[in-house]
């Protein structure tokens, strides 16, 4: 699942490739080992993880994901 911090509502329908290529968002993370069926595009979530790699987008394995709002 791709998570983009501070995603603007007008960008929420863009493809992940468009978002990555825009270089507008600096905090972009691929979250591994999470069932994407638990969430839908545009959900606001909080992720807890211990470490990420230095790639863009970063890659993490979530310890906890909490849905804040839709």
Please tell me the predicted confidence (pLDDT) of residue 18. Answer: 94
Beta carbons within 8 Å of 61's beta carbon, 6+ residues apart = 31, 32, 33, 49
Best CA proximity match to 5, nearest among 57, 40, 55: 57
64: containing domain: 2-69
Q: How many domains does the chain have?
A: 1
Please tell me the predicted confidence (pLDDT) of residue 50. Answer: 83
The string of pLDDT tens digits covering residues 6-29 is 999 899 889 999 999 998 998 999
- Tokens 């290529």 — which residue? 21
CATH code of the domain in which 7 resides: 2.40.50
Best CA proximity match to 8, nearest among 27, 30, 29, 25: 25
Stretch 29-34: mean pLDDT: 87
Structure tokens at 29: 């993370």
């Amino acid at each position: 699942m791709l998570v983009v911090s501070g995603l603007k509502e007008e960008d929420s329908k863009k493809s992940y490739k468009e978002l990555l290529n825009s270089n507008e968002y600096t905090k972009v993370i691929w979250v591994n080992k999470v069932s994407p069926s638990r969430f839908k595009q545009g959900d606001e979530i909080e992720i807890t993880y211990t470490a990420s790699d230095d790639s863009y987008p970063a890659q993490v394995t979530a310890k906890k994901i909490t849905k804040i709002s839709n």
